[in-house]
Amino acid sequence: MLKNDIEFFRIIYHFFADGTKLAYAAIGVGLLVAFLYFRIFFRDVSGFEEDADKAGKIPIVDRDYDYVDAKWSGEKIWGWLLLSVGCGIAAYYQLPHWFPHLFKE
């Protein structure tokens, strides 16, 4: 177990030690989009917690389960995650075209 944990941290260390400006900028764009759209999708942390609670309910076990609320909450969370990751990936491929003097292709 300890060997797997050490290997995991070694992979993370090498990613940040050997990363390029382009990778860091793309991660920054993805995090910025996630931060900005978090407020639009959920308003605040309690809104996210409420949606996560609704999305995690089980139909047979929870008496106050509502199918529409559960699906909508799950769709909001997935939409927010996919939008953020998609913007980071798009930034990775588009930044060299927009700023050729900063990011070499």
Instruction: For residue 105, count other CB atoms closer than 10 A to its CB.
Output: 6
Task: Count the alpha carbons within 13 Å of 90 in the hemisphere toward its beta carbon.
Answer: 10
Condensed to tens digits (0 to 9), the pLDDT of residues 18-59 reads: 778 888 899 999 999 999 999 999 989 999 999 888 888 888
Q: What angle do CA 86, 42, 90 make, to 5 degrees?
A: 10
d(CA 28, CA 26): 5
Residues 70-83 pLDDT 10s: 889 899 999 999 99
